[in-house]
Amino acid sequence: MGSVIIDLFCGAGGAAMGYHRVFPDAEIIGVDIKPQPRYPFTFVQGDIFEVWETLPHDDVILYHSSPPCQYHSVMTKGRWQERRKEHVNLIPQTRELLVGTGKPYVIENVQGARNELINPLMLCGTMFNLRARNGAQLWRHRYFECNPELIFPPCTCNHEKTPAIGVYGGGQHPLRKTRTRKNATIGVYGSTGGSSSRDGKSFYGIEDRKIAMGIDWMVGRELNQAIPPAYTEYIGQQMLQRGVSYKEKE
């Protein structure tokens, strides 16, 4: 077997697609406890801590992991605090597995987990000029613990005073909650059709969300949790420059 990338808690494959763009000849193996029928690469269904020993670790050049974010999400705090108790923080357990391999790894999570991660790199859609059809910016902050450590984003986060597609709580950034027209911050979990309005907030339809995320193969509920491929494409490029041992097929 040639180069392998293992994608833990893989979801529908947003992170995997970014790595594929950098390492096109690597076999990517995604693992998730839930079925992922639209995962674009090799998929293994199961609890990662139960199937870990069955994975092909010898040829791995990079591990990516996106442990469930509900424990750290703003959606499980405040009035959702009781629901937070239903979730487990899997970041420490996941890190223990990955550190034990001695190989490069990435642990990704939401803003609420940034203090749980070691020297995390923050990436936002504005750093990659990700936008919907009307030019609305993608505001989607994600944090990445990287080994070897990557601390410099491609540029600064640039939130313009323009329409935005974001991932803040109920769909609207707390600093902009008074804005109810289309230029309010809008969640990447709107209606499945065109734009809609709920509780005074506007939401974009799935096609706009797909365009903003740079993802065309997922359904709405998968987009909700996805990482834009541009994020992991950038991380993969940096890992390659830092000496990740990748061999192209001859």
Strands 142-147 and 121-123: antiparallel
Exposed (0-12), middle (13-18) or buried (19+): which is 103, by Cβ within 10 Å? middle
Dihedral, CA of residue 184, residue 112, residue 69 and residue 15, to nearest 10 = 70
The domain limits of the chain are 4-124+140-151+225-241
Among the ranges given (76-85, 97-106, 225-234), the one the predictor scored with the smallest mean pLDDT:
76-85
CA-based nearest residue to 26, from 56, 60, 52, 57: 60
85 pLDDT exceeds 60? Answer: no
* Contacting residues for 124 by C-beta, under 8 A, at least 6 apart: 138, 139, 140, 141, 142, 157, 159
Residue where the block lists tokens 């020297």: 119
**Cα distance between the two ends of the chain:** 13
Q: Which two tokens stand for residue 205?
A: 């339809």
pLDDT tens for residues 30-69? 999 999 999 999 999 999 999 999 999 999 999 999 999 6
C-alpha to C-alpha distance for 221 and 229, rounded to whole angstroms: 17
Residue where the block lists tokens 């949790």: 225
Task: Specify the pTM.
Answer: 0.83
C-alpha to C-alpha distance for 45 and 67, rounded to whole angstroms: 15
3-state DSSP assignment of residue 4: strand
Among the ranges given (47-51, 69-73, 76-80, 207-211), the one the predictor scored with the smallest mean pLDDT:
76-80
CA-based nearest residue to 64, from 87, 23, 30: 30
Regarding the domain delimited by 4-124+140-151+225-241, which CATH topology (the fold level of the hierarchy) does it fall under? Answer: Rossmann fold (3.40.50)
Give 85 or 220, the one with higher predicted confidence: 220
219 pLDDT exceeds 50? Answer: yes
The share of the chain scoring above pLDDT 70, in percent, equals 76
